[in-house]
Amino acid sequence: MVWTLLHSLAGDDDVQEIDALLKTGVDIEEKDLAGLTALHVASGEGSSNAVRVLCDNGANVNAAASYSHVSPLHRAVEEGHEECAGVLIELKADLEARTKEGFTPLHEAVRSGSMALVRLLLESQACVNSTCNTRSSPLHISILNEHHEISTFLVSQGADVYAPDDYGISACDQSGSEEQMRAIGIWKQNVILEEVIQSFM
């Protein structure tokens, strides 16, 4: 990863030097070897002030990385920077931006296990049932990673328990343990079903 001076300053949140450098006419959208802009770096490092300065000077808030297609919001969420994510959302970052695999920022927030970021994204109107390239929803990801509290919250926000992925597996199918089934609200109906089955045996 070879950063330009602007990338380095963005990561350090050095807004005075960023402002001075931008006045020299540097390319604000120049990418490093990983295909990331200075805004991606600022977002990934949690440099909220740098994010504002870069965007105020015309940086593309929805710039996609060359290879992974991650957006600055993806980077902030992946690294757990709630304040920075909030700034990007305020600056109209696309809540449904997709990585190369089709993951949205909400998928990444769920994967990281951050309830605060999940709440922030959903309160900002992110789609709770967005799916990636294999049609896995954030709820699929939450169940897979055993984030029970997040699973419960996603369901309370309208997550579809029965929507299948490309392999025909729903979040309901994935929830094998009692704790997981309780998290998505299907434990009681599962117990009733088992009792009905037992009554015929």
Instruction: Identify the domain containing residue 183 by its residue range.
Output: 116-201
Q: How many CA atoms lie within 13 A of 56 on its CB side?
A: 12
Is there a domain that residue 46 lies in?
yes
Is there a domain that residue 166 lies in?
yes
Is there a domain that residue 147 lies in?
yes
pLDDT digits (tens, 9 = 90+) for 90-139: 999 999 999 999 999 999 999 999 999 999 999 999 999 999 999 999 99
Residues 132, 162, single domain; the answer is: yes
pLDDT digits (tens, 9 = 90+) for 137-175: 999 999 999 898 999 999 999 999 889 999 998 888 877
Kindly report the CATH number assigned to the domain that includes residue 148.
1.25.40.20
Residues 90, 54, single domain; the answer is: yes
Number of domains in the chain: 2
